[in-house]
Each structure stands twice: as C-alpha cells, then as structure tokens.
C-alpha cells in the first residue's frame, strides 16, 4: 500500500497545476497571435514590394520607349532635311 501511495505521489508531482497550465496556454496563444501578426506584416510588405517593382518596370519600359522614339526622331529629321535640301538643289540645277 505504501509503495502504491509513493507511486501515486511521484505521478502527481509530475502533473502540472491548472494555474500553470492556464498561464502557459495563455502565453502560447499570445505568442501565436504575435507571430501571425508578424507574418501578416511580412506578407503585406512583400506585396507592396512586388507592386513597387512592377510599377518600376512599367515606368522603365515607358522611359525606354520614349528614349527610343526620341532617338528615332533625332535620326529622321536631319536625314529628311538633307534629302529635301538635296532635292531642291537638284531641282534648281535641272530647272536652269
């Protein structure tokens, strides 16, 4: 009988009290809520970063297109003036 009580007492010593369990459960729940909030902040930051990167890519594509068009016009206008002046010069010589 004494050995049974000793065994029961050793098992009860290993059992966590309700107060300790409640405190531990509350802490775990709070920590999980904090971690979920941190994860949500990271997801939001990641989405914002992706949106910013996409906007940068669009702006960069527009800039490149505008630069390409500017270079094209810088080439066409002088060549067109040269051709027009050459045609006028040839026409003036032929007309005499």
Instruction: Give CA–CA dist 46/89, Å, rounded.
Output: 64
> Average pLDDT of 14-36?
88
Give the Å distances, CA to CA, from 87 to 1, 22, 29, 75, 84: 125, 97, 86, 19, 5
Mean pLDDT of the chain: 90
Report the pLDDT averaged over residues 54-69. Answer: 96
| Residue 16 backbone phi and psi in degrees, to 5 | -85, 140
What integer pLDDT is reported at residue 16 of this predicted model? Answer: 65
Q: Indicate if the pLDDT at residue 10 is higher than 90.
A: no
Helix, strand or coil, per DSSP, at residue 13: helix
Q: What is the pTM of this model?
A: 0.55
């Amino acid at each position: 009988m004494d050995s049974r009580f000793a065994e029961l007492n050793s098992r009860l010593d290993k059992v966590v009290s309700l107060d300790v369990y409640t405190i531990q459960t509350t802490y775990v729940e709070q920590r999980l809520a904090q971690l979920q909030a941190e994860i949500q902040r990271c997801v939001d930051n990641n989405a914002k970063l992706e949106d910013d990167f996409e906007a940068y890519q669009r702006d960069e594509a527009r800039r490149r297109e505008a630069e390409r068009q500017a270079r094209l016009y810088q080439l066409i206008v002088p060549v067109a003036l040269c051709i027009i002046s050459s045609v006028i010069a040839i026409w003036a010589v032929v007309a005499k």
